[in-house]
A and B are shown apart, each in its own frame.
Chain A
Amino acid sequence: MSQTSTQTMQIGLRETTFVGKLRQRIARRTEGRAVALLAVVMVVVSFTQPLVFTAYPVSLGRIALIGLVALGLTAVILMGELDLSVASTLAVSGVVMALIPDVWMGIIVALGVGLVIGLINGFFVAVVGINSFIATLGMLFALRGLAFILSDEAPVRITNTDAGIAFGLPLLGPLTPRVLIFILAVIALQIFVSRVKAGREFFAVGGNRQAAYDAGIPVKRRIFTGFMISGFVASLAGVINTLERTAADPRAGQTVLLASFAAAIIGGNYLKGGRGSIVGTLIGATALGVLQVAFTLSGVQVPVQEIFIGLILLLAVTTDPANLRALMGSIRSVLQGRLKSPS
């Protein structure tokens, strides 16, 4: 199922024509569903709400917000794990940053908090051996509580408001620092998972963990790395949010959670690991970000927005090629009346 196995399988029938090569290239990619969603969203939005494109700084900001959290998730999903605690990590690190008077000190400590949370998650998953879905769900609630405790259950204003206002202004052309950081994060992670050995090994750990052990890959260390990346990136999103709004909300992150999961999963990242790409997540985040901004600009009620994003997530998680294969298998066995007896 992993990329390498597909490649070795196809060495025998190497295509020579241009069209053949192109077809092979496309068949190897995992971003198909994200591209389809993006195309549909773009076409519909350009007819119904072209304001999304004229107000592109807003759209870019929204894409960066969803995309940043989704990027961290991608690193973990590649290894077949999941980090549900990102939403609370975002809230906690935002509150921590706002509580520290000095901006730079606050940013550093907040990012450190994200790394520590990643370390704790990694410990429970890699060392103790708890399923990451449950471990990070526990962390999701515990950290939400921590954010409430630290903030006294109310939004915290940052001391240096000027820094926050300066952060919201365009830095390079129309690009705000948030968008620039997001672009940097995309490039860094793309290089990491495609060119760096440790990053390439993420696919191996997710594709076949036992084989990864046997091949001498330090699986536990990779799992730690993955969770620390997702914790760090989530706290980065928290810091950016806090700076832009000049206040930290302990309830932050709940709306981002759903959209970023949808972005990562529709981007072709297989939840059982071993297959996926950063580019797919980027495309997924773009589609969902544009959709959300279009909804907001058209004055669609929040419940309806949640229904739509929820439907996209449901669609994303059920239409993965592996899920469709499972469905076909189920249908076949039902049509045949019963499965063949093993004896």
Chain B
Amino acid sequence: MAKETLTEVITVGNSGEEDVRKNRSALPWMAENGIFIVTGLLVLFSALFVDGFASLVNITDVFHRAAPIGIVAVGMTFVVISGNYLDLSVVAQVATSAVILLAVSNEYGVPLGMLAALGAAAVYALVNGIAVGYFKANAVIVTLATTYIGVGVLRFFSGGSIFFGPEDGPIRAFGTSKLGPVPYSAIVLVIVTLILAFVLSRTNFGFLVRSYGSNESATRLGGVNTGFVIIGAFFVTALAAMIAGWVLAAFSNTAVSSMSTGYDFQALAAIIVGGTSVFGGKGSVLRTLLGVIFVSVLTNILVLSNISFGYQQVALGMLIVVAVTVDALSRKVGKR
């Protein structure tokens, strides 16, 4: 009964979207499909004109750097689609997971290390999810607070020191293995993306996340325990951040509390450039993967061209603002 009502609300929403599509205008189309063209052009441009981009070493390097950021981004897509802006605490989560994996593995073996990291991810998901889902607190502020708490706890217990993994353990073996030019970490990214894409578009939970993002009160009135959905969205993000931490730890075989600085921002850039709306309700995991490719290639050619860190930050900041502007303006055009 309740379920039917909910479906009706969603169908009504969808039919509205079709009207927008009929309204032929360049901007909404650009917001919808621009990323395919822009990413294609960027890759083509870098292959043709940027020295050293098309080399095997560089491609492998791009994969290595894109994998952890990409895994974070596809996970965080859930929080963005649920209409809660973003999860800033992924920075703390990735570092925590990496440090715990190496520190615990050295003492008690890899399975326990993975289990401990899973526990930490669950704690993050619960704190963020309860504060946002049940207290209805602002996600940006909540996750800003949990970032500082998390990094503080990590630095307090690790003393800011660097953890090294064993030279011949399974973690190291995983981090160095490659399938042709593609490192295992990139394969993990693809697997995580496919699983999450399935979860978002085919399962009941994914449906509820999208539904919450497009109309919160309708979802609640449909009899859904919305707090639970939000905890779930943050749990998906936390799990992805945990896996990203493992991949990062395996790649460098070291872990330190500051290793994931800037991940929140790059992941958000990838998600928004991919076309997931910060207004919630609209977006897809596969698009985020495309956004990850775009952001990683862009960062890579900036690095290859010896452009300093400051300019890279400015470029990424502008990228976010431009992408959100396109999204916002296309919505305005659609309304008319």
Contacts and interface: CB of A to CB of B under 8 A. Distances in A.
Genuine A/B complex: yes
Contacts of A333: 225
A339 B135 contact: no
B223 to A, nearest CB: 5
B221 A342 contact: yes
B310 A137 contact: no
A323 B135 contact: yes
Given A145-B313, A146-B310, A149-B308, A138 B318 contact: yes
Nearest to A330: B134
Contacts of B278: 130-131, 134
Contact of A153 (B147, B155, B308): B308
Contact of A317 (B5, B138, B324): B138
A142 B322 CA distance: 12
B38 interface: no
B321 A142 contact: yes
Interface stretch (B19-27, B28-36, B99-107, B325-333): B325-333
A301 interface: yes
Nearest to A331: B134
A261 B86 CA distance: 18
B265 A313 contact: no
A129 interface: yes
Given A145-B313, A323-B137, A339 B220 contact: yes
A143 B331 CA distance: 27
Contact of A146 (B223, B227, B314): B314
Interface stretch (A21-29, A229-237, A238-246, A302-310): A302-310
Contacts of A313: 141, 144-145, 148
Contacts of B147: 310
Interface string A131-155: 1011101111111111111100100
Interface residues of A, number: 58
Interface string A279-321: 0000000000000000000000111111101110110011010
Interface in B298-336: 308-318, 320-321, 324-325, 328-329, 331-332
B320 A303 contact: no
Contact of A341 (B5, B320, B331): B5
B2 interface: yes
A120 to B, nearest CB: 9
B146 interface: yes
A304 B159 CA distance: 11
Contacts of B313: 141-142, 144-145, 148
A326 interface: yes
A130 B325 CA distance: 7
Interface string B131-167: 1011111101110111111011111100000000000
B137 A318 contact: yes
A134 B5 CA distance: 32
A124 B134 contact: no
Given A130-B324, A326-B134, A326-B136, A153 B310 contact: yes
B142 A128 contact: no
A333 B314 CA distance: 46
B1 interface: yes
B143 to A, nearest CB: 10
B268 interface: yes
B207 interface: no
A261 B1 contact: no
Contacts of A342: 5, 221
A116 interface: no
B142 A301 contact: no
B134 A327 contact: yes
A82 to B, nearest CB: 7
Contact of A310 (B140, B146, B331): B146
B205 interface: no
Interface residue SS majority, chain A: helix
B310 A145 contact: yes
Contacts of A45: none
A130 B328 contact: yes
Contacts of A341: 1-2, 5, 223
Nearest to B138: A271
A139 B314 contact: no
A318 B131 contact: yes
A84 interface: yes
Contact of A138 (B135, B149, B220, B320): B320
A137 B279 contact: no
Contacts of B138: 82, 133, 271, 317
Contacts of B223: 338-339, 341
A265 interface: yes
A339 B131 CA distance: 21
A330 B227 contact: yes
A275 to B, nearest CB: 14
A142 B317 contact: yes
B2 to A, nearest CB: 5
A141 B317 contact: yes
A131 B141 CA distance: 14
Interface of A: 82, 84, 124, 128-131, 133-135, 137-150, 153, 258, 261, 265, 271, 301-307, 309-311, 313-314, 317-318, 320, 322-324, 326-327, 330-331, 333-334, 338-339, 341-343
Given A145-B309, A148-B313, A313-B148, 15 more contacts: A124-B325, A128-B325, A130-B328, A133-B140, A134-B272, A138-B324, A147-B310, A258-B145, A271-B141, A310-B148, A314-B145, A314-B149, A323-B135, A327-B135, A330-B134
27 contacts: A129-B331, A130-B324, A130-B328, A133-B85, A133-B138, A133-B140, A137-B265, A137-B268, A142-B314, A148-B313, A149-B308, A149-B311, A150-B310, A261-B141, A265-B141, A271-B141, A304-B152, A310-B149, A317-B135, A317-B141, A317-B142, A318-B137, A320-B137, A333-B225, A339-B223, A341-B223, A343-B1
